[in-house]
Amino acid sequence: MPGFLLAKTVAQMTKGIDWSQLEGMVLMHHGIFSFADDAYESYRRMIDLVSAAEGAFGDEPHAPDVASMPISALELATIRRAVSGIAKRPMLTSFDGSGAARSFASQKDAADIVTRGPLTPDHVIRTKRIPAVIEDDVIVSVEKFAEEYKAYFDRYSDGSQTRLDCAPRWALIPGKGVAAFGRQPKELKIIHDITRHTMGAIRRAERIGGWRALPERDVFEVEYWELEQAKLGKGGGDLEFEGRCVMITGGASGIGHACAQRFAERGAQVTVLDKEHAVLGAFDSPSITGMVCDVTDVSAVDDAVESAVRRFGGIDVVVSNAGIFSPSSLIEEMPEADWQRSIDINLSGAMHVVRASIPFLRLGWEPSLVFIGSKNVPAPGPAAGAYSVAKAGLMQLARVLALEVANDGIRVNTVHPNGVFDTAIWTDEVLQARASHYGITVEEYRKNNLLQREVNSMDVAEMVCAMAGSPFRCTTGAQVPIDGGNDRVL
């Protein structure tokens, strides 16, 4: 342990030494120190000492090529669910299947050497003392890690410490690679950096005499040292959706765009699908990733869902928003192409996304499906048949889903917006035309509801976040209007 006792011990052991004749000092199981009369010379001596140590090791051993054993998206989601369950909170998961990681994980003794201890005791606050080893049964493997962590705590606790969660922070997946677990992408990056260095150090240590780590008790003292724990407490309070993965369709603009922003602000990692390439540059937030996908293309949807899962290990929330408003047309005059396009995008497209997502939602944390419906479902209007019928079908899809997936803990709810004027379909020309049709001004048309309030995309996004969050924890199958009040609906 660093601190006063160590410094005092060093002072006692070095009485009578002529420090001017020395450039540095090695503290076994602790590290290298260098010193001089000025900072630059001390720094130069450190470089020399570290370079000498590197030279003694020689070149890093070459990682032999091994056959690729890719991890499936479903397996990754299963691991994430198991780890989150032990942590009692959603955890993001990142997989490293690089050649070096895969080669390391393919060693016959990999499970033995990675469970000897951390590269340095300071790593323990990020990675815990050892990783989990994920065998064929994921649940059993993670539970075994948790049981062993509890036993480790009980062995060395003096009763004054509060045990941390028992979930692993990284895992060896034999033959495939390593995975990291954390609440935020920043944590995952730190853990991957540590594990990458650890695997390289183990390879070198095994080559020159064997990998050895500090005894458990010493590592425990660092892990539960008050000053080390304080480092982890600097991140502030948890956000509502921290550690959760959200997928939104039709999010390059309008309601979908607003939903992505609101979820990201509340801590979620968001994947936004849209057929327009503009989605790739539609967001400034590092928590939102745009992906081009046409929801009418089944294969493209399947690939997009799998890619979303591979980002951080799963899907917890799906917001089905992609849709179009068909050109106004009486049914007897309706072009076949307009009818079919509305059905394909507004109804079948949503089904494609939901169908591909359900296996992953089953493994999600408090999983939720939110459909963006329309006022036209309870109150259709003339010349909007293609849109109204497709949205009505979407609502029946949502109702059936609520029945089918309730046993899996998946909630299915719908929000019905009306007159959301900051979306792409409401151009200045369209607004003026609709206002003129009713003989009122554009400003009056914008507030043409019982509350006389304009509804915008962010209003809808707030409701969607509520449906995916704790306010709707015990609600499924609900349909909620967000329209300022509509006499035809009421």
Catalytic residue numbers read 387
Structural contact between residues 183 and 242, judged by C-beta atoms closer than 8 angstroms:
yes
Amino acid at 364: G
Torsion angle defined by CA atoms of residues 292, 294, 295 and 299, in that order, rounded to the nearest 10 degrees:
-90
Cα–Cα dist 355/348, whole Å = 10
Burial of 223 (0-12, 13-18, 19+ CB in 10 A): buried
Q: Tell me the torsion sign for CA atoms 453, 459, 464, 467.
A: negative
Cα 424 to chain centroid, rounded: 29
Which ranges of 20-72 does DSSP label H, i.e. alpha helix?
39-57
Structural contact between residues 420 and 457, judged by C-beta atoms closer than 8 angstroms:
yes
Cα–Cα dist 419/473, whole Å = 28
Cα–Cα dist 197/61, whole Å = 13
- DSSP class of 63: P
Structural contact between residues 163 and 150, judged by C-beta atoms closer than 8 angstroms:
yes
For residue 260, how many other CB atoms are within 10 A of its CB? 30
Q: Is 67 helix (H, G, I), strand (E, B) or coil?
A: coil
DSSP-assigned beta bridge partners for residue 25? 33
The two beta strands, 245-249 and 92-96, are unpaired
| Residue bearing tokens 């420090």 | 19
Q: In the numeric block, which tokens belong to residue 389?
A: 């019928």
Cα–Cα dist 155/95, whole Å = 32
Q: In the numeric block, which tokens belong to residue 265?
A: 């602000």
Q: Residue 365 region, left (φ>0) first, then alpha (ψ -120 to 50), else beta? A: beta
- Straight-line distance from the first to the last Cα atom of the chain, in angstroms, rounded to the nearest whole number: 69
Cα–Cα dist 383/385, whole Å = 6
Which of 69, 109, 74, 102 has its CA nearest to residue 177? 102
Q: In the numeric block, which tokens belong to residue 453?
A: 């309030």
DSSP-assigned beta bridge partners for residue 268? none
Q: Is 326 helix (H, G, I), strand (E, B) or coil?
A: coil
Which of 131, 129, 119 has its CA nearest to residue 197? 119
